[in-house]
Amino acid sequence: MTRASTRTGAAGAPARRRAAATRAPAPEPAGVVTVRPARRADLDRVIAIDATVTGVEKRSYWLSVFRRYGDGEQPERIFLVADIDGRVAGFIIGEVRDWEFGAPPCGWVFAIDVAPEFRLAGVATRMLDALRAGFRRLGVRKLRTILARDNTLILSFFRSQGMMTGPFIPLEMDLDA
Ligand SMILES: CC(C)(COP(=O)(O)OP(=O)(O)OC[C@H]1O[C@@H](n2cnc3c(N)ncnc32)[C@H](O)[C@@H]1OP(=O)(O)O)[C@@H](O)C(=O)NCCC(=O)NCCS
């Protein structure tokens, strides 16, 4: 599985891209960023980061996600964390899905979060790079995701990575009628 290490923020580190003028300056993570497969011991931190972002702690959900994606036994299921000097700074989860919605096999990213104190330092970019590399090794050539229309933060991030509107449209209906 992918392991990619880069030092950021620390003395002698590569210069970080300048944040957009409209954004508040963020603290830079000082230390070595390693993107590696999630371990069971990372789950408490993953749950805490998710709870910070969503406001809901979902321990049983995350246990089942880890069982499905975290054991590394199925290469098409990828659950990675960004580790900065032994601290989990963020996570990303994705999967290759075959022929859903009539589409040839493609890689889906369905969760990405970075803890607020580690943002704007390229952590999510590094995790997405590692996920894409994993998908390429599996032979897929397309990356897809779905996001909430009002989540402009995640939209800005995915756009910055070169993702564009795809050929599918989401539909839904209430089932209680
Ligand atoms: C979106 C998120 C993953 C970005 O993580 P990050 O590590 O800060 O991202 P990066 O530093 O790699 O940023 C890459 C690019 O994304 C864009 N971006 C990131 N944060 C941004 C912000 N606050 N405002 C505008 N653009 C932003 C920028 O283009 C940035 O490039 P730049 O720094 O050169 O301008 C992080 O903010 C997060 O976890 N947000 C909550 C995610 C969420 O809602 N998840 C639930 C749905 S899955």
Q: pLDDT tens digits for 5-63?
A: 554 443 333 334 444 444 544 555 568 899 999 999 999 999 999 999 999 999 999 99
Q: Which residue has the tokens 């890689």?
A: 107
Q: What is the CATH number of the domain that holds 82?
A: 3.40.630.30
Domain count, the chain: 1
The span from the CA of 47 to the CA of 18, in Å, is 30
Asked if residue 177 belongs to a domain, the reply is: no
Asked if residue 168 belongs to a domain, the reply is: no
Report helix angle 59-69 to 43-54, nearest 10: 130
Asked if residue 155 belongs to a domain, the reply is: yes
Does this model's pTM top 0.85? My answer is: yes
Asked if residue 2 belongs to a domain, the reply is: no
Classify residue 87 as exposed, middle or buried by CB count within 10 Å of its CB (0-12, 13-18, 19+): middle
- Domain that residue 131 falls in: 30-160
pLDDT at 18 (0 to 100): 41
The predicted-structure confidence for 91-125, as pLDDT tens digits, reads as follows: 999 999 999 888 899 999 999 999 999 999 999 99
pLDDT level of residue 71 (50, 70, 90 thresholds): confident
* Ligand 1 atom nearest to CA at 26: 8
pLDDT at 11 (0 to 100): 33
**157 close to ligand 1 (CB < 6 Angstrom):** yes
Asked if residue 137 belongs to a domain, the reply is: yes
Mean pLDDT (the chain, rounded): 87
Centre of ligand 1 to C-alpha 106, Å, is 23
Asked if residue 50 belongs to a domain, the reply is: yes
Nearest CA to ligand 1 atom 39: 113
Closest CA to 83 of 5, 168, 174: 5
pLDDT level of residue 138 (50, 70, 90 thresholds): very high
On the question of pLDDT at 2 being above 50, the answer is no
Asked if residue 14 belongs to a domain, the reply is: no
